[in-house]
Amino acid sequence: MENTPQPMATGNGIKLVLAWGFVGIPLVWGIVQTLVNAIKAFQ
Amino acid sequence: MAVSFLNRQRTIAAPGYSRWLIPPAALCVHLCIGQAYAFSVFNLPMTKLIGISQSAPGDWKLTELGWIFSLAIFFLGASAAVFGRWVEEGGPRRAMFTAALCWGGGFLVSAGGVYLHTLWIIYLGYGVLGGTGLGIGYISPVSTLIRWFPDRPGMATGMAIMGFGGGAFIAAPFSVWLMGRFATPTHVGVAETFIVMGLVYFCFMMVGAAIVRVPAPGWAPAGYVAPAQPRPLVTTQNVFVYDALKTPQFWLIWWILCLNVTAGIGVLGQASAMSQEMFRGRVTAVAASGFVGLFSLFNMAGRFFWSSTSDYIGRKNTYFVFFVLGTLLYALVPYAGAIGSIGLFVLCYAVIFSMYGGGFATVPAYLRDMFGTRYVGAIHGLLLTAWSMAGIFGPVLVNYIREYNVTHGVAPAQAYNVTMYVMAGLLIVGFFCNVFVKSVHERFHMRAVEAEDEVEAAPVFGGR
């Protein structure tokens, strides 16, 4: 079965940026903190 | 009104809803419950609640505090197994809301335990209530992700389970920062930290519950072409959750997960001590903690990488890679120690930990291939008992073998060699379990009408 593309709801782009930013920013912050600590450990 | 917000019918997506909103919804839950991996940052401060600068008589011991994490992991497996069907039939929003209540509530109850200096309240709060939130939260988005991403189920579930690995990266510095803010010369600040974390995690998880949607019946991604012929080892049928327990496939995959996790978890807790003892004088405690941070990153990245790869090479082949490559790498670690190559040691462990995480992340898609999408979340819940089992046996096995070697005169630098060979042996057993995985016999398949009834009725603990 092949599905025909459905129109994306207006405002989906903003919702996607907000949703991914909401989870992505803390995750990236945590990864950077871990990397900084790891680099300190090797120095 | 509030209850209807949680109803599965209220979560059916309107036309035009983007499926790429589902992974962040799942990550809202998994990033929070992944804090469990960072609980150890509270251990030392909680041994000084009375003495403040050092432990005083009446302060809790590390051995007593160790039970908090163990209880939480035990209740993760138990609640995922017990509530799996309830999660599946009630929909992801109700499950995420319940997980948020249990997880956030567990922190608040534990804060009371710290304030009253009563350890059993923390066992009850973080261990039992929080552990139940862990189990329900862990499985809550699995089947929803698989339904939204029929074309790439491995990648979709891998993203969520990567969040569980990544949660510790946020929780560890966040907890330390909060304790620093609340600490005074006469107070450690653990109780206040628990209160803030409980409230923050509850709100964060509720955002996920608000965003999440299930696809409308019959929905498929634009341009998705379902395979005309069923692919080998990928069923188009569904198996009822408790019927899955009667199949050899369930138990083979149970052992596959258990053995892969036992090998990984056993050395995960010992990576720091192992690197210092194998390279005595060359790896300091601080450098070893750097290694552990690095390995945790590979553990997280492996969850996404390997589960996404499994969409292309198949689940069975992915586990073959884990077992063959893992066996070689475990056997290579003693050689790295013997030739004094820290680089080879780190490389071996980085890949081993990526496959440890990959094992967790690929298993939901493996279950979906075997048992279909209808009860995959609940079946995954039952399978997580393998994790609880591995969580007990892995560390015990590593500690016991090391202790035995040291007391029998083996130098500390070589004390882990036998452990590595035993872990390689476990992976060989896992390899043969994987060899025997075949398609589920059709007598276990649900009838089409039966499967539709289950979806429409969505009873709570209703009869089959």
Question: ipTM value of the model?
Answer: 0.86
B281 CB contacts (<8 Å, ≥6 apart)? none
Q: Does B180 touch chain A (CB under 8 A)?
A: no
Residue A2's pLDDT band, with cuts at 50, 70 and 90, is very low
pLDDT exceeds 70 at position B283: yes
**CB–CB contact A1 B16 (8 Å):** no
What is the DSSP secondary structure assignment for residue B439, as one 8-state letter? P
How far off is chain A from B166, nearest CA to CA, in Å?
A: 7
B381-408 b/e with 16+ CB inside 10 Å = b? bbbbbbbbbbbebbbebbeebbeebeee
Percent of chain B past pLDDT 90, that is, above it, reads 65
State the Cα–Cα distance between residues B168 and B69, nearest whole angstrom: 14
Closest chain A residue to the Cα of B162, Cα to Cα: A27
Which of B21, B177, B178 to mutate to probe the A interface, most A CBs <10 Å?
A: B21
How far off is chain A from B189, nearest CA to CA, in Å?
A: 22
Give the up-direction half-sphere exposure of residue B156: CA atoms within 13 A in the CB hemisphere: 22
pLDDT exceeds 70 at position B197: yes
Return the structure tokens found at B203: 């709100």
pLDDT tens by residue, B233-254 = 888 899 999 999 999 999 999 9
Chain A contact set for B25 (CB, 8 A):
19
Q: Does B130 touch chain A (CB under 8 A)?
A: no
**CB–CB contact B293 A20 (8 Å):** no
**CB–CB contact B163 A7 (8 Å):** no
User: If you average pLDDT over every residue of chain B, what do you get?
Assistant: 90
How far off is chain B from A32, nearest CA to CA, in Å?
A: 9
Taking the CA atoms of chain A, what radius of gyration do you get in angstroms? 19
Residues counted in chain A? 43
Kindly state the average pLDDT of the residues B6-21: 91
State the Cα–Cα distance between residues B26 and B92, nearest whole angstrom: 9
How far off is chain A from B220, nearest CA to CA, in Å?
A: 7
Residue A42's pLDDT band, with cuts at 50, 70 and 90, is low
Kindly state the average pLDDT of the residues B268-294: 82
Chain A contact set for B20 (CB, 8 A):
16
Kindly state the average pLDDT of the residues B52-63: 89
Chain B contact set for A16 (CB, 8 A):
18, 20-21
State the Cα–Cα distance between residues B157 and B144, nearest whole angstrom: 9
Q: A-contacting residues of B 196-215, CB under 8 Å?
A: 207, 211
Q: Does B15 touch chain A (CB under 8 A)?
A: yes
**CB–CB contact A31 B169 (8 Å):** yes
**CB–CB contact A16 B18 (8 Å):** yes
Q: Does B31 touch chain A (CB under 8 A)?
A: yes
pLDDT exceeds 50 at position B114: yes
**DSSP bridge partners of B239:** B445
pLDDT exceeds 70 at position A7: no
Residue A33's pLDDT band, with cuts at 50, 70 and 90, is confident
Give the closest of A1, A6, A19 to B24, CB-based. Answer: A19
Q: What is the pLDDT of residue B318?
A: 97
State the Cα–Cα distance between residues B141 and B147, nearest whole angstrom: 10
Residue B458's pLDDT band, with cuts at 50, 70 and 90, is very low
pLDDT exceeds 60 at position B440: yes
Q: What is the pLDDT of residue A1?
A: 43
Measured from the Cβ of residue B295, the count of other Cβ atoms closer than 10 Å reads 24
Chain B contact set for A15 (CB, 8 A):
18, 21
**CB–CB contact B293 A15 (8 Å):** no
Q: Is the dihedral of CA B197, B389, B157, B15 positive or negative?
A: negative
Percent of chain B past pLDDT 70, that is, above it, reads 96
Closest chain A residue to the Cα of B285, Cα to Cα: A41
To which residue do tokens 């891998």 refer? B158
Kindly state the average pLDDT of the residues B10-33: 95
Which of A34, A40, A42 to mutate to probe the B interface, most B CBs <10 Å?
A: A34
Q: What is the pLDDT of residue A43?
A: 66
Of residues A37 and B8, the one with the higher pLDDT is B8
Residue B182's pLDDT band, with cuts at 50, 70 and 90, is very high
Provide the H-helix boundaries in B235-284: 241-244, 248-268, 271-278
The full set of domains in chain B, from first to last, is 2-216 (1.20.1250.20), 241-444 (1.20.1250.20)
Of residues A10 and B407, the one with the higher pLDDT is B407
Q: Is the distance from CB of B440 to CB of B249 less than 8 angstroms?
A: yes
Residue B460's pLDDT band, with cuts at 50, 70 and 90, is very low
Instruction: Give the range among B106-110, B209-213, B420-424 with minimum mean pLDDT.
Output: B420-424
How far off is chain A from B55, nearest CA to CA, in Å?
A: 27
DSSP result, B387-424: HHHHHHHHHHHHHHHHHHHHHTT--GGGTTHHHHHHHH
Chain A contact set for B169 (CB, 8 A):
27, 30-31, 33-34
Closest chain B residue to the Cα of A7, Cα to Cα: B16
pLDDT tens by residue, B34-56 = 999 889 889 889 999 999 888 89
Q: Is the distance from CB of B221 to CB of B415 less than 8 angstroms?
A: no
